[in-house]
Every structure is written in structure tokens, then in C-alpha cells.
Structure 1
């Protein structure tokens, strides 16, 4: 993203004490001086505090395994060409057992050699969800063979969350947190 931010990352004054503290904790978590997404979204103080628990739940304690969640998130980021999400989640995915080779297979698509059946159906369902705004009956049946009802619901909310987040990041032109 070479375009200037439409809403520059804020500091203490723009975020207020609570959101500033949350953004600082987030920055520590990604080992950066700031977490640009939080420093932008945190400027809508109440909405940020409403959005953050859902986002954190989906990312850290949801019913999907952290591996499965990263497969979905990486695929959404790839489909939406979200450099910001890819930077964040390529790193996080490695810590969750999704190595560089698996990531390359996720980006190559559901027909890539070396994917598990579960990864293949997650990628297919993510592609359909993001591109067509739904999942075909055939894909839903295959996905249902791997996921429980709560996981199926969570899959939909996770894919929607990261699709919407990619659009928000792109529209607001949130600056990257990492130089690469």
C-alpha cells in the first residue's frame, strides 16, 4: 500500500486512554512500535470496543482450530489481495503450524497437491463464500463432514469478518506494520 492513509493511525489523543492502551498491548503482541489497524479503528472509540471482542474470539478462542482459522484467513487475504492481512497472518500462521509450504498451497488453491482433505474443503468453501457470497450445497455437505454445527457457523462469521476487514483496510488505506 503506497497510498497515504485516509485516516492516519492515531495516538493517545485520538484513541483515548483505553483504546490507546489496547493498541499498545496489540503492538507488543506483534512486536512493533504500533499496530496500525488498532490505531486507526480505535479512533471510533465505542465501535472499536464492540468489534474487538468478536475479532479476538474468532482469532484466539473460537471453535475452529487455530490452524483451520488461519487457512480461512490466509485464503480470504489472498483472494482480496490484502497485503496488510497477509503480512499479519503469514507470521501468525507460522506460529500455528501453517508453514511456508502449506501457505503456498493455500494461495495456489484447493487443487494444490499436498493439501489435506480438510484444508481443501476449507479453501473451496472460503472461495465460494468470498466470491459468490454463499456456499454451494455440494461444498456445504463436504464442509459439514469436517465441522460441527458451531464450527460451521463460526466458519461463516470468520470468513465474513476477514472479508469485511480486508475491504475496510483497503478503503482506509491502513499503513503496513512491517517493512516487508
Structure 2
């Protein structure tokens, strides 16, 4: 059920364009090309602009490897039952990382053959369940990640949890946008 539909094309104005400017090129900043998620978020252009600045960091400037970033996002999307993020990042993970289809499926389930990646996925689960990473998991992560990477991990889970809550509430469903 859609509770918040995409902003109608006749209501796209300069504030919507400004909100999307940091994320997408001009030719994408229209209701036909932006996709259902962005077209829904721009119902509140100021909030969208502020949030997308943070999201750009998580997706494009994170100190985490693209492989780890996508495993974190996939697991977070799965834990929140967010079809849009899960399917969207399945596509991104397959196209932009060395994750195989089986590894993508495993990440969704919180599994990995790699012990460190398994610990990362456990951290996602802990954050989801208790809003904190245990000392044991933090210590294990710290053997491989520096302070900035640890912070990026936590904020990636938090940022994508927030998106999942919004998308699930608004009723945003996956569409093939690529």
C-alpha cells in the first residue's frame, strides 16, 4: 500500500531540482528519470537535500570497501524487510563489486565464508537488535578496521535503517531503474 506517492510532475520546481543536484546529473532530475524513491522523497525537498548529502557520503565516500559497504546495506535491508533497498542493492552489488550472486544471497542472510565479513554482518545484526555493537564484536572489527571505517560501518547501518523505515512506510517498491 502506498501511503506517500511520488511528487506529481507538475509540482517539481527549483527546490526539487536543488534537492537532487548533489546526487544526480541534471538530465536525471525529473519525475520520469529520478525513480520512484527519489520522486517520493522530494515531497519534502529540504529534508531530501539534507539527507542526500549524508547518503552520498555513505554510498560514494565511505572509507569501507564497496564490497563491505554492499554487504552491510544488503543485510540491513533484509533485517528491515525493505524490498526496495534489498533489490536495488542486489543490482548495485552485482554491478559494482566482486560479490557473486551466492555471496549476495549469503550477505542477505547474515552469512559469509570469510570470518571477518561474518563479523561485519554480526555487527549489523547487533546494531539492529540492540542499537550497539558488543565489546567482543568491536574488538574483532578493530583488528581490521580503523576508527573512520568503524564509524562508517555504524552510520551505514543507521542511514540505511532510516531509509528502510521511510521506504517501507511510504510504500516504495522496487522498480528496475538501471
Q: Decide: shared fold, TM above 0.5.
A: yes
Q: Does 1:86 align with 2:86?
A: yes
Q: CA deviation at 1:145?
A: 1.0
* 1:171 counterpart (161, 169, 172): 169
Name whichever of 148-157 and 33-42 sits farther off. Answer: 33-42
Cα deviations by residue, 1:86-115 (Å, 9 ceiling, x for unpaired): 1110000012222211012212324x5xx2
Large movers: runs of 4+ above 6 Å: none
TM-score scaled by length of structure 2: 0.86
Q: CA deviation at 1:24?
A: 7.1
Superposed CA RMSD in Å reads: 2.4
Alignment of 1:4-153 (within 5 A): 5-17=2-14, 19-20=16-17, 22=20, 25=25, 33-95=33-95, 96-110=97-111, 112=112, 115-153=113-151
Tell me the equivalent position of 2:158: 160
Which stretches in structure 2 are left out of the alignment for 5+ residues?
Answer: none
Distance in 1, Cα, partners of 2:27 & 2:107 = 27
Distance in 1, Cα, partners of 2:71 & 2:94 = 11
Distance in 1, Cα, partners of 2:175 & 2:105 = 22
Name whichever of 79-88 and 170-179 sits farther off. Answer: 170-179
Distance in 1, Cα, partners of 2:36 & 2:14 = 16
SS in 1 for 2:67: helix
Distance in 2, Cα, partners of 1:77 & 1:67 = 15
Distance in 2, Cα, partners of 1:48 & 1:37 = 11
Q: CA deviation at 1:175?
A: 3.4
